[in-house]
Structure 1
Amino acid sequence: MIINILLIFIGIVFLVIAFSAAYHSMQLAREKDSFVPMGEMVEVDHQKMHVYQEGGGQETLVFMSGNGISSPIFDFKSLFSLLRDQYKIAVVEKQGYGFSEITNSPRDIHTIMSQTRKALADAGIRAPYILVPHSASGLEALYWAHKHPEEVKAIIGLDIAVPAAYENLKINIPLFHFASFLAKMGITRWIPNASESSAMKGGTLTEREKEINRAVFYRRTATKNMLNEVKEIHCNAEKVGNLPTPDVPILLFASNGEGTGWDKETWSRTQRDFIQKARQGRMIELNTPHSVHNIEYHKIATETKEFLNHEAAG
């Protein structure tokens, strides 16, 4: 009896997953017109990467997304729309993100940095750059500034995870694999508000932009690239942690820790300890969750302009 019940249950689960996958495939076809690159597709390591740019300033802000952000362009739009009047804006969507292709490329920090640099160069966007990383991409920005200091004029950190933050971080890899399976089967379509990103909830996206953002979400959630980045994060953090603090101006915007996995004091202390090692560094604490750029975008834009016009000038 128990075996029969179990078999029936397994059969029902299989049918639900099969139905969800079929519905997901149908919806992807319907959303195809919304999944059209807004920038330039360039070839990097035999794969297509998407580079978006706008604005006409003399200096270039390169926005770098945190791990797992389906659509980096829309994630940063509320902030960079307030900066494009003075700066050139560039968003490189890493492989497996946004409109870039999903690949089997290694996710060690040197490969990621090299691919970003090549994508920018192929899109005609020349150094030096002002790097604007969020969360885990802070590691990439710090590594970049150390390896190629002539290319990095300053770093504007949007609640970045500095190397020390990963020392005691435990990562549930099976959970990430499960999330990837749910995304591929379209189960995420049945989860209320799953596609409603922080940029959609607190930012300034139009209804059309939200529609495109959803189309990207259902194609770029828990991709193999994102999963492999998570698997490499401890190694990448250790590699960056063993390097000296880059000798470039650094402005950090720190959240209250909500959404990071750490409490407010621990998160704030980790970033304070890091910025104290910078020769020219400043930290601004914000009483907001991790996606600071989708909440305090006006303040961040104002403070960024002031920092770059004065402390990072020249």
Structure 2
Amino acid sequence: MKKTITIISKIIVGLVIAILLFLAIVFLVNIVCSKMEQGKLETYGQSVTVDGKKMNVFIQGEGEETVVLLPGYGTAAPALDFKLLVDELSPFYKVVVIEPFGYGLSDLTEKERSTENIVSEIHEALQRLHIERYILMGHSISGLYGLDYVNKYPNEVSAFVGLDSSVPTISEKKIESSIITTLKLLKKSGLARLQVKLSDDPYAVLPYEEKTKEQMKILKHKNMYNTSQLNEAETMYANFKAAENLLFPKNIPVIFFIQANYPVTDRWIPEHKKQIEDSVHGKVMTFEGDHYLYRTKAKEIVENFREFMKEEK
């Protein structure tokens, strides 16, 4: 019996040592890789001062009308991620990609990620760029921010375009502080990097340039679970609740490009239709694809968007 206990004890000690050694290696690899990636990171776009911090924006195209692109939650490098869509839009429009605080090359912020603060910061960035009239185009959670934005600045926004955008009536679940603490630990320990390494690469089969893919990967490691994005996740439930009774102003044209088969709920299409039921010019179009439709359906989205805008005129 004593011999058995001794063997088991040695096995347990050996496992503990192996786990600690593994965690130490992951931690050190993360530090080394992060340092190396800092040297490989290439800047793009331009910085504007918003609330005393630097917000990165990317501008392409010289069209008479301006399209302002807003990213979905957690998009590591919005200007690069939207590249395929920007290339389709820019022959016809001036395209402005906003990278909110905590995204892309923008600074972090300690200010709460409430819809009010996010919308105010985006508006300040556009004011700094002297952009007074524009079409707002938002992916995912930016549908929620865009809804608030259009209601606050109806005289500036000429139309809203949702890219599989969120609606207030289909709320995200409340994220407890314990989950946020766990995600912070994953970031600091380097396990978040390992998580990315073991996950499928969403860009692998997409027609981005290899250099762009590399830069997006670097920024994913840099921005994943950063403090600003974690605060946004924690505040998300309250942001949805605050917008429950909001609708788009009826005189602003609204078009939604959404998934035909949303995997989470069968209310996806009906709830989008409700958002525009009082709109003078509103439309819902569905595509076969995933949540990131703009990566695979950029050409179709732009063609239908331009046709929609012609009808509106």
TM-score by length of 1: 0.88
**By how many angstroms is 1:176 displaced?**
4.8
Aligned residue number for residue 255 of structure 1: 259
**By how many angstroms is 1:177 displaced?**
4.0
Question: For 2:272, what is the secondary structure of its paired residue?
Answer: helix
Pairing 1:82–2:82 present? no
The question of whether the paired residues in 2 share the 8 Å contact of 1:36 and 1:99 is answered with no
Question: For 2:91, what is the secondary structure of its paired residue?
Answer: coil
**By how many angstroms is 1:183 displaced?**
3.2
- Deviation readout 1:231-262 (Å, 9 max, x if unpaired): 2122212222233432310000111355xx61
The question of whether the paired residues in 1 share the 8 Å contact of 2:256 and 2:283 is answered with yes
Amino acid corresponding to residue 304 of structure 2 in structure 1 = E
Which one of 169, 186, 191 corresponds to residue 187 of structure 1? Answer: 191
Amino acid corresponding to residue 262 of structure 1 in structure 2 = V
Task: Decide whether aligned partners of structure 1 residues 152 and 87 sit closer, same or farther in structure 2, where only a CA change above 3 A counts.
Answer: same
- Deviation readout 1:7-53 (Å, 9 max, x if unpaired): 65454433322221221121122222332320112222222211111
Which one of 194, 214, 218 corresponds to residue 215 of structure 1? Answer: 218
Across the aligned residues of Structure 1 and Structure 2, the Cα RMSD in angstroms comes to 2.3
Pairing 1:276–2:277 present? yes
Aligned residue number for residue 135 of structure 1: 140
Moved more, 206-215 or 267-276: 267-276
Task: Decide whether aligned partners of structure 1 residues 201 and 266 sit closer, same or farther in structure 2, where only a CA change above 3 A counts.
Answer: farther
- Report how many aligned residue pairs link the two structures: 305
Aligned residue number for residue 27 of structure 1: 33
Amino acid corresponding to residue 208 of structure 2 in structure 1 = L
Aligned residue number for residue 196 of structure 1: 201
The question of whether the paired residues in 2 share the 8 Å contact of 1:183 and 1:218 is answered with no
Pairing 1:126–2:127 present? no
**By how many angstroms is 1:106 displaced?**
1.0
In structure 2, runs of 5+ residues without a counterpart are none
Which one of 158, 166, 178 corresponds to residue 161 of structure 1? Answer: 166
Amino acid corresponding to residue 90 of structure 2 in structure 1 = R
Bigger CA radius of gyration: 2
Task: Decide whether aligned partners of structure 1 residues 193 and 300 sit closer, same or farther in structure 2, where only a CA change above 3 A counts.
Answer: farther
Identity between Structure 1 and Structure 2 (%): 28
Matches within 5 A, 1:91-106: 91-106=97-112
The question of whether the paired residues in 2 share the 8 Å contact of 1:202 and 1:294 is answered with no
Distance 2:113 2:52 in 1: 16
In structure 1, runs of 5+ residues without a counterpart are none
Distance 1:193 1:8 in 2: 25
Amino acid corresponding to residue 82 of structure 2 in structure 1 = F
The question of whether the paired residues in 1 share the 8 Å contact of 2:176 and 2:234 is answered with no
